[in-house]
Amino acid sequence: MSIKSEPITINLGPQHPSTHGVFRMRVTFDGETIIDVEPIFGYLHRGTEKLAEERTYTQVVTLTDRMDYVSSMLNNQGYILALEKLSNITPEPRGVWLRMIASELQRIASHLVAVGFLIQDLGAWGTPLTYAMREREKILQMFEMLCGARITNSYLRPGGVFMDAPEQFWVALKDFVYDFPSKVDELEKLLTSNEIIFSRTKDIAVLTPEQAINASITGPILRSTGVSWDLRKDDTYDFYDQVKFDIPTHSAGDNYSRYLLRVQEMRESLKIVKQCVENIEPGPVRPHHDEVPFLVRPPKGDCYVAIEGSKGELGFYLVSDGSISPYRWHVRSSSLINLTLLRDMLIGTLFGDLFVTFGGIDINMGEVDR
Amino acid sequence: MIEWNGNKLAEEISNHISDSVVSSDDHSVYISKEKIYEVLKFLKETSGFSFDLLSSITAVDYIDHFEVVYHLKSLITLSKATIKVKLGFGREDQPEIDSSYNLWKGADFQEREVFDLMGIHFVNHPNLKRILLWDGFPGHPLRKDFVTNSQSVVDDGEDK
Amino acid sequence: MFEFIYNILDAIIDIFIKDMRYESYIITAVTGLIIAFAVINGVLGGVLVLIWGERRLLGRFQQRTGPNRWGPQGLLTSVADAVKVMFKEDIVPEEADHYIFNLAPLLLVIPVFIIFSVIPFGISLYAVDINVSVLFILAITSISGLSIICAAWASANRIAIFSALRSVAMLISYEIPVGLSLVGILLITESMSVMDIVIYQSIPFILIQPVAAIVFFLGSLAEINRTPFDLTEAESELAAGYQNDYSGMKWGLFYLGEFAAAIAAATVFSTLFLGGPNGPILPGLFWLTIKVIAVLFFIIWIRASWPRFRIDQVLNLAWKGLFELTLVNIVVTSIAVIIWTDLDSNRLLYIGLVNWIFAFPFVLLIFKLLKTKKYQSDINSSSYYPVGSDSPKFKKEIK
Amino acid sequence: MIGFGLIKGLSVTLRNLFGPVFTIQYPDKRVGVFGLAKNKNLSVLSLLKSYPREFLFALVGMAKVEVRIEQFPRFRGNEFVWYDDRCTACASCAKYCPLGIIEIVTHASGENLQAGENYAIDKFDIDTGRCMFCGLCVEACPYDALHMGTDFERGNYHRAKLVLDKETLISQDKNPSSWFRPQFEEKEYNPWDSDLGDYKEAGRHEKPSYEKIKQNWVNKRKFNG
């Protein structure tokens, strides 16, 4: 006996509790099984790339904050690195160490958000999310000490950071570094061995390395398929060649390994922060005003710099025509490109897996739409 | 990771595919519009290059022409390269170039984005439609001749 | 209780009016109304406290404060919410089927209150004592599925339909293990009356029928749509499920019905498995309240800690896990009941012992069947993608 | 084993049930009698005498106690601190503002030319309704005349009222943040202690003496020539 059924199409989003912003998916179901997905973006498009063309190079830093608003320090870092390469600025060592500390803390914060919301999508009523947010709160407070803002930092400047860290930052950082591993352990105790999470995420939305690389997927998702590819090591920038850390990889390539990988990356980031604190030495945090003026005028040319963002390869393509504002500024947003295989990952899974997979990819609509 | 010297890479490419390289400089190779698919296929599939990761596709409007920029990376040879294509001389309305979707699936959204914001048509792309802006949006905003309409700022309902 | 109020009313009326016509009918009706009023308002008050308690407890589980603004410790928060809900605009979608749309919330709420009519709040404190009250409870609870499918169908919303179909699938699946899990108790007590079961429980049945208790608890979680079986209104998937298009007091009725169902489930569980109003010294109502609060705390605790299952896992658990467990339980219990027929006090102990011995191997076996194996940690496993295996053609040149 | 992870999860949440609360209740929180007594620094009995009404509320845990959010000196806040005396109306801030929300209108004043006051300011408007508090204007100010504020409770129902004009800027409380003002941090200045009305304390530099100006002038000529 066969039941005659008819596919049903549902618009999930742009207003939906778990689309992580204003994202829309036109999903076709056969019963509970997904047979087609079409992602539709652009609800948060603000024309950042066009806006940058009428701002000076320093003013563009404020635009990068607003792209991926849960990892704005990393966006700052990528953009500043591109600008430094384009205009041949040598950064001050203390500034570089400081921005490495800031961006690794930001990576921890971003992964905390990713893990928290992934579990939220699984249906845990906010408990792991609040535990994650509790830790993120400490990081945001440290950012407030550093630069007076919690989300839209604008902390980095060409050649380093805008101001040295205050005394209380180091105290708070010491507390955090001491405290954080036990909190991650707590989060892991709640989540990692939980059978429901395990059975719901294991072997769902599996990607092979070839598929992932072919679709330009980078970051934790690529590493969860077993490819040891991290731009911090493979295309090293700042002083990442002077610190020791591991690149955790998993070979499963499913949702569970993505979750576990993020937890491990948080520990690795903490390791980097510790080493940065050991290595940092007193000195100026940015070049003198005479060397790097407020209005940077890079020579004519273009450059592409990619860093390992929290969500993947975060690239900035800058074209200069010698004036005070970029001629063209392109952002290679990892969030957008990581969604390329969303359809292939979702087809054949159930409704319950949809948002779990989506949360596992960990996108940020601010960066997808820009 | 090593960055390919543009001149060196141009030499290698022109040895294998004739009439493909237009010019080259230290960082990038300029490929002719007609041969771009062939060159990308060569770069992806030949051992020694093996550019398996398409980092980014973007386009720049240089007023008299457009430039499509490919940033390629190789996980196997740990190297990266920049390929550029000049097209659309004389402000063509719809400059066309071969899509690299069949080589890298990662080109899907990026080419759609370039089409949406810069108006460059990628031939053979399976689903070339606007991605960030809505269908029927007038013009392509990242072109330099696009007029930003200051009147379209949302009225914030100021009470008098 | 009925006779008690009836007699009082009879005496009062006898003082004022003599030889009233249809006296017994009128007094019966008035007595019924008084009891219904007391029970329903008691449950409503319980719901208000439960909503506050759940939010407050969830807050504390998550290291937040929870609502604490209105009234002492925020006790009046749910009252304020109720007032707000009553005064909200009532929106009915244009394409909705109005009659069914309006009927659905009532269909959800009324059966829940009816359940309380057979619950003994004390040893002789009950509204009615039907001799098949266990069956009555099972029958009444399944009406809520009808209400949910009415609501979803009437609101002409695809997401709501999804939710309703999930709900019905779950309800049908879990009705069976829940019903069968009670068979063991019925075999032991040889009665279908809740009152008899309560009186029989010198030892709470959770100790004598552990498997049945677990199955019944999980089943009732599924029937009242609680975590980990809250697929019906899975917020991260279906927004609000079947209530998507409801607003104002109609939505309020759904909310009320849900929480009243939680109280009902906790009450039924504590009546059937925790001894109900049985307890030393203090009155029965006190003991029942304590037990209900304990069960509700556990439900909230689970909600704070666990994510939800997927729909196929939920149905698998019902048909491949709990169903078999109940069958095993029935077989073991009936054998035990046949062996120890004499009604001495040790009978329960023996039956319980047999049940415990048989319970655990079978629980393990069933969960083995559900295929949950330990995660093989593959951290830093060797990547089979050849990163950096080949060297670029211009190796010697240094950039 | 099956269920073991679930039980471990339950234990984690149970431990946190008795843990501390991380919520910051803003702008006030509800306290009981002892909390109120501690807040007012009184014993419970004297509290009953002096605040009988609040005591009654406190008995049911409903007495209100104000709460301040923990801020740090570099906080980039809603009001700007502007020192009229330091400002030379160079309009650097207006130029560096990414959104162009600072409006400055000047006219040539002619008085006190040597002190750099060539221009008198007619209008100095900052539209904080569109401001994103990036702080670039403060970074740009060469004379330390403009500072970020530390206040954030400036919510309003009218956008027009969000514009800080010259009079407001002069008359309002001055609690400058130490964002891009290292001289504040060296002095371990706390913005919430008191108003910093004196413009001389806000600056980075001492006013140069006549001799020093002359020396600079000569040196510059020497090197360039």
At D80 the pLDDT is 83
Separation of first and last alpha carbons in chain C? 94
In which residue are the tokens 């576990």 written?
A260
Residues of B in contact with A88 (CB under 8 A): none
Closest Cα in chain D to C365: D2
Domain locations in chain D as residue ranges: 22-70, 77-202
At B151 the pLDDT is 46
Task: Tell me the torsion sign for CA atoms C206, C289, C254, C107.
Answer: positive
Chain B: closest CA distance from residue D100 (Å): 14
- Chain mean pLDDT for chain B: 81
Structural domain of B29 = 2-141
Residues of A in contact with B65 (CB under 8 A): none
Domains defined for chain A, CATH in brackets:
8-369 (1.10.645.10)
Q: Which CATH architecture has domain D77-202?
A: 2-Layer Sandwich (3.30)
Residue C266: name the closest of C297, C295, C308 by CA.
C295
Residue B76 lies in a domain: yes
Residues of C in contact with B75 (CB under 8 A): 385, 387-388
At A48 the pLDDT is 87
For residues A120 and A18, give the distance between their C-alpha atoms in angstroms, rounded to a whole number. Answer: 8
For A154-203, write each residue's pLDDT tens digit: 888 888 888 888 888 888 888 888 888 888 888 888 888 777 888 888 87
Lowest mean pLDDT among A92-106, A132-146, D3-17: D3-17
Question: D44 or A77: whose pLDDT is higher?
Answer: A77
CB atoms within 10 A of CB C154: 24
Residue C385: name the closest of B71, A335, A250, A345 by CA.
A250
Closest Cα in chain A to B1: A235
Q: Do C393 and B48 touch (CB under 8 A)?
A: yes
For residues C68 and D61, give the distance between their C-alpha atoms in angstroms, rounded to a whole number. Answer: 9
| Burial group, residue D40, by CB count within 10 angstroms (0-12, 13-18, 19+) | middle
Ranges under pLDDT 70 in chain C: 1-2, 18-20, 124, 343-345, 365-384, 386, 388-399
For A85-122, write each residue's pLDDT tens digit: 888 888 888 888 888 888 888 999 999 988 888 888 88
For D183-210, write each residue's pLDDT tens digit: 777 777 777 777 777 777 777 666 667 7
Tell me whether strands B2-3 and B79-87 are parallel, antiparallel or unpaired.
Answer: parallel
Measured CB to CB, residues of chain B less than 8 Å from chain C are: 2-5, 8, 12, 47-50, 74-79
Question: A133 or C282: whose pLDDT is higher?
Answer: A133
What type of residue sits at position C115? I
pLDDT above 50 for D132: yes
Contact partners, residue A220, CB within 8 Å, separation at least 6: A111, A258, A261, A262, A265, A311, A312, A362
Q: Are C115 and C85 in contact (CB under 8 A)?
A: no
Mean pLDDT of A288-299: 80
Residues of C in contact with D62 (CB under 8 A): 71-72
- b/e per residue, A200-218, with b = 16+ CB within 10 A? bbbebbebebebbbbbbbb
Query: Which helix H or strand E contains D147, and what residues bound it?
Result: strand D146-149
At D206 the pLDDT is 61
For residues C148 and C152, give the distance between their C-alpha atoms in angstroms, rounded to a whole number. Answer: 6
At C377 the pLDDT is 52
For A6-42, write each residue's pLDDT tens digit: 888 888 878 888 777 788 888 888 878 888 888 888 8
For residues A238 and A156, give the distance between their C-alpha atoms in angstroms, rounded to a whole number. Answer: 13
Q: Number of structural domains, chain B?
A: 1
CB atoms within 10 A of CB C99: 10
B26 touches chain D (CB under 8 A): no
Residue C8: name the closest of C38, C40, C31 by CA.
C31
Residues of A in contact with D73 (CB under 8 A): 166
Contact partners, residue A294, CB within 8 Å, separation at least 6: A58, D96, D139, D140
3 state SS of A68: coil
DSSP class of residue A30 equals E
A152 touches chain D (CB under 8 A): yes
For B49-72, write each residue's pLDDT tens digit: 888 888 889 888 888 888 888 888
Report how many Cβ contacts below 8 Å link chain B to chain D.
5
Q: Do D76 and A148 touch (CB under 8 A)?
A: yes
For residues B96 and D30, give the distance between their C-alpha atoms in angstroms, rounded to a whole number. Answer: 67
For residues A303 and A315, give the distance between their C-alpha atoms in angstroms, rounded to a whole number. Answer: 10
Cis peptide bond prior to D27, omega within 30° of 0: yes
At C366 the pLDDT is 64
In which residue are the tokens 């009152």 written?
C195
Question: For residues D97, D98, D99 and D102, what is the CA-based torsion angle, rounded to 10 degrees?
Answer: 10
For residues B65 and C118, give the distance between their C-alpha atoms in angstroms, rounded to a whole number. Answer: 84
DSSP letters spanning B57-121: EEEEE-SS-EEEEEEEEETTTTEEEEEEEEE-TTT-SS-EEE--TTT-TTHHHHHHHHHHHH--E
Tell me whether strands D77-82 and D146-149 are parallel, antiparallel or unpaired.
Answer: antiparallel
For residues C286 and C280, give the distance between their C-alpha atoms in angstroms, rounded to a whole number. Answer: 10
Indicate which CATH number applies to the domain containing B20.
3.30.460.80
B155 touches chain D (CB under 8 A): no
Token pair for A247: 């690149």
At B156 the pLDDT is 47
Q: Do C310 and A119 touch (CB under 8 A)?
A: no
For A191-210, write each residue's pLDDT tens digit: 887 778 888 888 788 888 88
Helices marked H in C133-241: 133-141, 143-154, 158-181, 183-189, 194-200, 205-208, 210-223, 235-238
A188 touches chain D (CB under 8 A): no
Q: Do A193 and D5 touch (CB under 8 A)?
A: yes
B69 touches chain A (CB under 8 A): yes
- Which of A145, A154, A186 is facing D134, going by the closest CB pair? A154
Phi, psi at residue A161, to the nearest 5°? -120, 165
Query: Which helix H or strand E contains A200, and what residues bound it?
Result: helix A195-201
- b/e per residue, C189-198, with b = 16+ CB within 10 A? bebbbbbbbb
pLDDT above 50 for D63: yes
N residues, chain D = 225
- What interface predicted TM-score (ipTM) does this complex get? 0.83
Q: Do A250 and C159 touch (CB under 8 A)?
A: no
For residues A82 and A90, give the distance between their C-alpha atoms in angstroms, rounded to a whole number. Answer: 12
Residues of B in contact with A317 (CB under 8 A): 56, 58, 69, 71
- Which of A55, A145, A192 is facing D72, going by the closest CB pair? A145
Task: Tell me the torsion sign for CA atoms A351, A357, A362, A368.
Answer: negative
Cis peptide bond prior to C228, omega within 30° of 0: yes
Residue B148 lies in a domain: no
CB atoms within 10 A of CB A5: 9
Residue C314: left (phi > 0), alpha (psi -120 to 50), or beta? alpha
**pLDDT above 70: percentage of residues in chain B:** 92
At D224 the pLDDT is 52
pLDDT above 80 for A364: yes
3 state SS of D221: helix
pLDDT above 50 for B155: no
Interface test with C, best of B13, B52, B77, B82 (most C CBs within 10 A): B77
- Which of D5, D139, D177 is facing A162, going by the closest CB pair? D139
Q: Are C82 and C73 in contact (CB under 8 A)?
A: no
Chain C: closest CA distance from residue B32 (Å): 23
Closest Cα in chain A to D16: A131
Residue B153 lies in a domain: no
C343 touches chain B (CB under 8 A): no
Chain D: closest CA distance from residue C320 (Å): 15
Q: Are C129 and C193 in contact (CB under 8 A)?
A: yes
Residues of A in contact with C312 (CB under 8 A): 32, 350
Residue B46 lies in a domain: yes
For residues A183 and A136, give the distance between their C-alpha atoms in angstroms, rounded to a whole number. Answer: 11
For residues B14 and C96, give the distance between their C-alpha atoms in angstroms, rounded to a whole number. Answer: 68
At A276 the pLDDT is 87
Domain locations in chain C as residue ranges: 1-87, 94-369
pLDDT above 50 for B152: no
* pTM for this entry: 0.87
**pLDDT above 70: percentage of residues in chain D:** 88
- b/e per residue, A143-176, with b = 16+ CB within 10 A? bbbbbbbbebbbbbbbbbbbbbbbeebeebbeeb
At C369 the pLDDT is 58
